[in-house]
Amino acid sequence: MLGVYDGCGGRSGGGIASEMAARAIREELSLGAPCRSDIAARLALAVENAGHRVFAAATADTLLCGMGTAATLASIVGFRLDVAQVGDTRAYLLRGGALRRLTRDHSLFNDLLDAGEVRPEDEATFVHRGVITKALGTTERTSPTMTTLDLELGDRLLLCSDGVTVHLDDVALGGILRGAVAPDRCCRDLVAETYRRGASDNLTVVIADVRSES
Model pLDDT for residues 134-154, shown as the tens digit of each residue: 999 999 999 999 999 999 999
List the chain residues with pLDDT less than 50.
214
Q: How far is CA 3 from CA 6, 90, 120, 125, 141, in A?
A: 10, 10, 27, 28, 20
Pairing of the two strands 2-8 and 90-95: unpaired
pLDDT for the residue 36:
64
**pTM of the predicted structure, to 2 decimals:** 0.93
Which positions ≥6 away from 125 have C-beta within 8 Å?
none
User: How high is the pLDDT of residue 35?
Assistant: 60
Backbone angles phi, psi at 104, to 5 degrees: -130, 125
What's the confidence (pLDDT) of residue 183? 95
- CATH number for 2-209 (one of 3.30.950.10, 3.40.1670.10, 3.60.40.10, 3.40.640.10): it is 3.60.40.10
pLDDT computed for residue 34 by the predictor: 61
| Cα–Cα distance list, 153 to 27, 92, 111, 175 (Å) | 30, 16, 35, 20
Residue 87 in contact with residue 15, Cβ under 8 Å?
no
Q: What pLDDT does residue 182 have?
A: 94
pLDDT confidence of residue 32: 67
Q: What is the pLDDT of residue 210?
A: 95
pLDDT tens-digit readout, 61-80: 988 998 999 999 999 998 99
